A and B are shown apart, each in its own frame.
Chain A
Amino acid sequence: MHFFGLVDGSESSLKSFLNNLPPVDQVGADARAAMLGTRSIKTSSKAWAINTAISMVDLTTLEGADTPGKVKALCTKAVRPDPTDLTVPSVGAVCVYNDMVKIARNHLDLIGGKDIPVAAVSTAFPSGRASMAVKLQDTQDAIDAGATEIDMVIDRGAFLSGRLGEVFDEIVKIKAICGDKAHLKVIFETGELVTYDNVRKASYLAMLAGGDFIKTSTGKVAPAATPPVVMIMLEAVRDFRAITGHQIGVKPAGGIRTTKDAIKQLVLVNEVAGPDWLTNKYFRIGASALLNDLLLQRMKLTDGYYESPNYVTVD
């Protein structure tokens, strides 16, 4: 692998590339992201945005208390988010822990959700604190069980202590296991990266190492997918495509709970990266509670009144 001809894979080449990236001005980035949050999306645009957002949801359950029954219920909802309205699109993927992959895959196949990928969180999610052997096996297990998307976490401890080569190698190795069987999403846990400069560096590092998607967070740490962080990642994928011709996806996850939040994310995509990213091939939203709010807002648009939350399923 030639890493797009930009680095040779050594830590020194990585450092010289990443340290040469333009910095991010925090005040300016916050102001721009806040400004984009004021765009007004109404009527037909809103209807389109809600459908698009539903199709981008990585419907997620990542709890210690996950049961096979809960995962199956989630899969059913993923295929038909609103059983009373067949025009509602299916979600982008189902995202579960390793051991639930097989159950999810089988159930999706059973109920007509063959096209919905199963994403597995990997590499000792959410902390990333385990040996390389365990992380590789974790990933292999998920792929063997039928996962076609791998959401790996980077080793933030290594990143923050400056061992960028280690973080890079890890992504390269996981990518090698994924091969052409699975899409690789690289989770940064932006809430732990401290600065916007680090978010930009991590974005380039993951893209250079072969990640197919860059993802903000695990959902276990706050703050997570804040608008400025997502904006910086969208700038990174936009600029990376301009340099390499390679289009990388973005997945905000964590903290996006309402339709308004989701639409703000779509505005960011449209304004920063551009309409080429307004598809679930290149933009996903990791969420669990969000889907219900999208469905309720969709009902409001079609029926003209707000439905009781009791009309959407809890899980």
Chain B
Amino acid sequence: MTFEYAPAPESKSIVKIQKEYGHFINGKFVKGKKHFATINPATEEVLSHVASGDKSDIDKAVQAAQVAYTKVWSKLSGAERGKYLYRIARILQERAREFAVLETMDNGKPIRETRDIDIPLVAAHFFYHAGWADKLDYVGVGSAPKAYGVVGQIIPWNFPLLMLAWKVAPALAAGNTVVLKPAESTPLTALLFAEVCQQAELPAGVVNIVTGAGETGAAIVNHPGIAKIAFTGSTEVGKLIAKAIADTKKVATLELGGKGANIVFEDAAIDQAVEGIVNGIFFNQGHVCCAGSRLLVQENVADEVIKKLQNRMEKFDLVIH
């Protein structure tokens, strides 16, 4: 008898996926024009059809965000903004299982990662930035951070909801309003997040979510009403964005691809270094912008490290349940 581990599946019944989604603009779902399919990569089952946003959709979203910024969000104190973020964080925790299952279905990563890593971190980020909202005057480096106004955010598919949290939570805490485009292959948790914004009674237009592919992203980048771009994704697209905004007053944060090197010296804790190498390159199936795709080992421990790494990798469970 060999020692076998059992799968620990989650029921899909916890999520309700609609047949078709529109965009989330000004606090409401609005119908899209053209739609495209989003699939479960594990089974290639079509999960839903989401709208492909064009210039006019982005126009509406930016307008809503501008109105929300000038009339509501910029007038709230940091503490009041923080309350909304705390509320969102708590709702995310309450609905964590639902988000985890949906993320796994739409992205294809194992439920262990969405349930134990992605979603808990998402809630943690909202809690963290909620705490910052009323303390920006005391940051202590130069003048206090101030809002830009409307920020455009474009995020990738490797950690769909987590990337949303990284972008949306700090932007709202600092007082911006947001037009966000999730990756075209993983839009569903962002759309479920839109429901959370409604549930948290976040003022309409503070968060707007427009789905679509590169063209939709370009419409965000080029829209004159957007003050700042936040982008996580490929170096190639990052360069395009930098070029597109070069002659404007827009600023950007670009978090692009790049692979890291693991460096192991002879005095390293070898067993833990092996775990570090394994986590570095195999976590999230290697789809991490800083994945340790190169391994540099001091010559006199190279054989030992490689052998231990091989032994460790033989223990991987590659079964798709």
Contacts and interface: CB of A to CB of B under 8 A. Distances in A.
Interface of B is mostly: loop
Interface in A3-57: 22-25, 28-29, 31-32, 38-45, 48-49
Nearest to A235: B271
Given A32-B275, A271-B315, A25 B4 contact: no
Given A23-B269, A40-B8, A235-B271, A28 B3 contact: no
B11 interface: no
Contacts of B5: 39-41, 45
A40 B9 CA distance: 11
Contact of A32 (B1, B6, B8, B272): B272
Given A32-B275, A48-B1, A271-B315, A24 B269 contact: yes
Contact of B267 (A23, A41, A267, A271): A23
B270 A22 contact: yes
Interface string A115-128: 00000000000000
A41 to B, nearest CB: 7
Interface residues of A, number: 25
Contacts of A39: 5
A43 B6 contact: yes
A266 B3 contact: yes
B275 A41 contact: no
Contacts of A313: none
A314 to B, nearest CB: 32
A270 B3 contact: yes
Contacts of A42: 6
A69 B303 CA distance: 56
Chain A interface secondary structure, helix, strand, loop or mixed?
helix
Contacts of B3: 41, 45, 48-49, 266-267, 270, 275, 278
Contact of A25 (B2, B7, B8, B272): B272
B267 A28 contact: no
A45 B270 contact: no
B110 to A, nearest CB: 12
A31 B275 CA distance: 10
A78 to B, nearest CB: 23
A41 B272 contact: no
Contacts of B116: 38
Interface string A269-310: 011000100100000000000000000000000000000000
Nearest to B312: A271
A48 B6 CA distance: 13
B298 to A, nearest CB: 12
Nearest to A23: B269
Nearest to B3: A270
Contacts of A275: 2-3
A99 to B, nearest CB: 39
Contacts of B275: 28, 31-32
A275 B1 CA distance: 10
Contacts of A48: 1, 3
Interface in B5-59: 5-8
Interface residues of B, number: 20
A70 to B, nearest CB: 35
A22 B268 contact: yes
Contacts of A235: 271
Nearest to B2: A275
A29 B272 contact: yes
B268 to A, nearest CB: 7
Contacts of B272: 24-25, 28-29, 32
A271 B273 CA distance: 17
Nearest to A47: B1
A29 B268 CA distance: 13
Interface in B99-132: 112, 116
Interface in B256-297: 267-273, 275-276
Nearest to B278: A32
B269 A45 contact: no
Given A28-B276, A32-B275, A22 B1 contact: no
A40 B5 CA distance: 6
A192 to B, nearest CB: 22
A40 B268 contact: no
A272 to B, nearest CB: 9
A22 B7 CA distance: 35
A68 to B, nearest CB: 39
A43 B6 CA distance: 8
Nearest to A42: B6
A32 B273 CA distance: 11
Nearest to A46: B6
A66 B56 CA distance: 85
Contacts of B6: 40-43, 45
A42 B9 CA distance: 13
A278 B3 CA distance: 9
Contacts of B8: 40
Nearest to B7: A40
B140 to A, nearest CB: 29
Contacts of B315: 271
Interface in A212-264: 235
10 contacts: A28-B276, A29-B271, A32-B272, A41-B3, A41-B5, A45-B3, A266-B3, A270-B3, A271-B315, A275-B2
Given A23-B268, A25-B273, A43-B6, 12 more contacts: A22-B269, A23-B269, A24-B271, A28-B276, A29-B269, A40-B6, A42-B6, A45-B6, A235-B271, A266-B3, A275-B2, A278-B3
Interface of A: 22-25, 28-29, 31-32, 38-45, 48-49, 235, 266-267, 270-271, 275, 278
Interface of B: 1-8, 112, 116, 267-273, 275-276, 315
Closest 3 CB pairs of A and B: A28-B272, A42-B6, A25-B269
